[in-house]
Amino acid sequence: MKIEGRVWKFGNNIDTDVIIPAPYLVTSDMEELGRHCMEGVDAEFAEKVRSGDIIVAGKNFGCGSSREHAPMAIKGAGISCVIAEGFARIFFRNAFNMGLSIFESPGVFQGIEEGDRISINQDMGEIMDHTNGKRFSASPIPSFMQELVEAGGLMSYILNKRRA
């Protein structure tokens, strides 16, 4: 599978409070959450972002709360995937469980600029910046987590297992 899109860049330690501030945690509606995505760092982000765009960030992306509303808001805003130098563990877990594509790739923060067009070949684990020609590799996903993704998330995975 290949994902292609335009890049929005964020720095280190982007926490779940800025991804989706607490006042909006009174809904589980993905589209509504998406309209407030990243409001804590960029109040206009949800208006600027287009469906299929990609977030590139520094280290410890998604630190803080366990709110699944954070990956939901990112997905709801139309973001196709998040690539970061590193993720905080609950965010990492939630993204796989609820089906937001994320990739860890050292070097992307320095190597990719905002507005660049990039593509990710998921099978090859390869990230290509079509604007500057640079290539990066995504850290391999553990096979169990690959199974989760293929099953369509944790709930489908455990329900499939129960039926088997």
Binding site for another protein (CB under 8 A): 13, 15, 17-18, 21-23, 25-28, 40-41, 43, 59-60, 63-69, 86, 88-90, 93-94, 97-98, 142, 144, 153-155, 158-159, 162
Least Cβ distance, residue 31 to another protein (angstroms): 15
| Three-point CA angle 46, 50, 51, nearest 5° | 110
Report the DSSP beta bridge partners of residue 120.
Answer: 3, 127
Kindly state the tokens that stand for 126.
Answer: 């390869």
Q: How far apart are CA 143 and CA 164, in angstroms?
A: 20
Nearer to another protein, 124 or 155 (CB): 155
Nearer to another protein, 36 or 127 (CB): 36
Nearer to another protein, 128 or 151 (CB): 151
State the virtual CA torsion across 37, 38, 40, 46 in degrees, nearest 10.
-60
Q: How far apart are CA 162 and CA 49, in angstroms?
A: 39
Nearer to another protein, 69 or 118 (CB): 69
Residue with tokens 């937001």: 100
Least Cβ distance, residue 89 to another protein (angstroms): 5
Per the CB < 8 A criterion, the answer to whether 89 and 117 are in contact is: no
Least Cβ distance, residue 143 to another protein (angstroms): 9
- The end-to-end CA distance of the chain, in Å, is 27
Least Cβ distance, residue 25 to another protein (angstroms): 5
Least Cβ distance, residue 122 to another protein (angstroms): 20
Nearer to another protein, 94 or 105 (CB): 94
